[in-house]
Structure 1
Amino acid sequence: MIQITRTIAIDEGELDESFVRSAGPGGQNVNKLSTAVQLRFDVRNSPSLPEGVRSRLERLAGRRLTRDGVIVILAQRFRTQERNREDARERLIALIREAAVPQAPRVVTRTPFSEKRKRRDEKARRSKTKSLRTGPIHHD
């Protein structure tokens, strides 16, 4: 089990890792070894995630989320498969932790009367300034 928060843990069996050729650092190794990690996590079918976290995670994942609701994380920053594997898992955990924090509801407030008065006074001042810019009126 991978512990995400105090209440959320996902089973390692829910993660699907495949190794692909990396485009990152590695010299000639990059042509011979598959060091990049492609981590897949099925958000929609995960029994470990509460519904609220699931929906927030889908929004946060952005373009990493497929049509089927699978998050795909590609890690190729490092030269070794093991470090890339750790990096991919850390990024997934960070994403789920971010989704686990519920967004505080917006509290609707009224605009204070003093702000409305300040805005009106400023508009009147600007109007007067602009009206003074007109040229003299000529009567023929």
Structure 2
Amino acid sequence: MKNFSKELSFKTSRSSGAGGQNVNKVETAVTVLWEVNASVFFHEEQKALLLDKLKNRINAEGVLFLTVSESRTQLMNKNKAIEKIIELVNKALIVPKKRTATKPSRAQKQKRLDSKKKLSDKKENRRFKL
């Protein structure tokens, strides 16, 4: 993933929320930007998969962005942003395994019918009989 992290660019901004003078003076929030189509680390099928799965986080120019302002220091936020974007990309690249359709076995069908019959008998016994 070292090659991938070289393609990232960063922008800093002031964090929002409580924090007093530190928030007002220091730019601790970090936005990590990555141009998906310009990446040399992934091949075309992977890029298409990333563009499809992360379309809510990718802007019109094809730039994936993520803002982190959890920590009070810029360096920690930068490291967290790198971790999060790598995790995001790794999750997006996972292709789910196709489910093969199967029929229930005869024993499973019989078990289901037996449980239905048992419940029916239980309810039948609750009825008031004259």
* TM-score relative to the length of structure 2: 0.75
Alignment partners' CA distance in 1, 2:127 and 2:5: 75
Cα root mean square deviation, aligned: 2.8
Alignment partners' CA distance in 1, 2:99 and 2:110: 25
Indicate yes or no: 2:77 matched with 1:98. no
Alignment partners' CA distance in 2, 1:107 and 1:11: 37
Aligned residues: 129
Alignment partners' CA distance in 2, 1:25 and 1:104: 45
**Which structure has greater helix proportion?**
2
Structure-1 residue corresponding to 2:9: 16
Structure-1 residue corresponding to 2:46: 53
Structure 1 position 98, deviation (Å): 2.5
- Aligned amino acid, residue 41 of structure 2: S
Identify which of 129, 134, 139 aligns with 2:127: 134
Q: Which runs of 5+ in 1 are unaligned?
A: 4-8
Structure-2 residue corresponding to 1:82: 75
Structure-2 residue corresponding to 1:6: none
Q: Is the 8 A contact 1:19 1:37 kept in 2?
A: yes
Alignment partners' CA distance in 2, 1:99 and 1:32: 36
Structure 1 position 132, deviation (Å): 2.3
Q: Is the 8 A contact 2:67 2:81 kept in 1?
A: yes
Structure 1 position 21, deviation (Å): 0.4
After superposition, where does 1:21-60 map in structure 2 within 5 Å? 21-23=14-16, 27-44=20-37, 46-58=39-51
Cα deviation, 1:37-74, whole Å, max 9, x if unaligned, reads 011223355453334433544565475x1452433211
Identify which of 117, 121, 128 aligns with 2:110: 117
